[in-house]
């Protein structure tokens, strides 16, 4: 089961990422190691829109997770626009 920590939900709102993109990133994104034994997942999405007054074609979503028993908890979400 994938759970989203309240901190991650706040970051999603701040950074323009929706829950569908987060789940898609974890299930089909590129896996990479991060500090403290955590995992990161990265995926690019076609964006073709405005973010904070600027036009971008791609939104890259990075999701940092921690594994708890059989669950994956998303602890933060990062978005980069290109």
- C-alpha 7/C-alpha 12 separation (Å) is 9
Per the structure, the complete domain to which residue 28 belongs is given by 2-81
Return the pLDDT at 68.
85
* Verdict on whether the full-model pTM lies above 0.95: no
pLDDT digits 0-9 by tens, 35-81: 998 999 999 999 999 999 999 999 999 999 999 888 999 999 999 99
Task: Name the residue among 76, 41, 82 with its Cα closest to residue 59.
Answer: 82
β 2-4/30-33 pair status: unpaired
How many domains does the chain divide into? 1
């Amino acid at each position: 089961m994938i759970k989203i920590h309240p901190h991650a939900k706040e970051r999603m709102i701040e950074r323009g990422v929706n829950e569908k993109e987060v789940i898609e990133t974890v299930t089909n994104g590129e896996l990479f190691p991060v500090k403290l034994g955590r995992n990161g997942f990265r995926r690019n999405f076609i964006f073709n829109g405005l973010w904070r007054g600027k036009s971008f074609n791609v939104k890259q979503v990075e999701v940092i997770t921690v594994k708890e028993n059989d669950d994956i908890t998303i602890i933060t979400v990062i978005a980069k626009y290109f």
